[in-house]
Structure 1
Amino acid sequence: MATLFLSSYTASFAQQIKIVDKPIVFDSTRVRLSLEYLKNRHDIVKSTPTIEPKIIVLHWTAAKTFSSTFNAFNTAKLPDGDRKDIATVSSLNTSSQFLIDRDGTIYRLMPENYFARHVIGLNYCAIGVENVGSRDFPLTPEQLAANEALVRYLTAKYPIEYLIGHYEYTRFKNTPLWKETNPNYQTGKDDPGKDFMEKVREDLKDLNLKGAPQQKNN
Structure 2
Amino acid sequence: MDKLRLYLVTDSEILKGRDFYAEIENALRGGVTAVQLREKNCDGKEFLEKAIKLRELTRKYGAWFIINDRIDIALLCDADGVHVGQSDIPAIEARKILGNNRIIGVSARTIEEAKEAELQGADYLGVGAIFPTSTKSDAKIVTMEQLRAIRESVSIPVIAIGGLTLGRVRLLKQYNIDGYAVISAILKKDDIYEECVKWSNMVR
Q: TM-score, normalised by structure 1?
A: 0.27
Larger radius of gyration: 1
Higher relative contact order structure (alpha carbons within 8 Å, sequence separation ≥ 6): 1
Question: Would you tell me which structure has more helix in proportion to its own residues?
Answer: 2
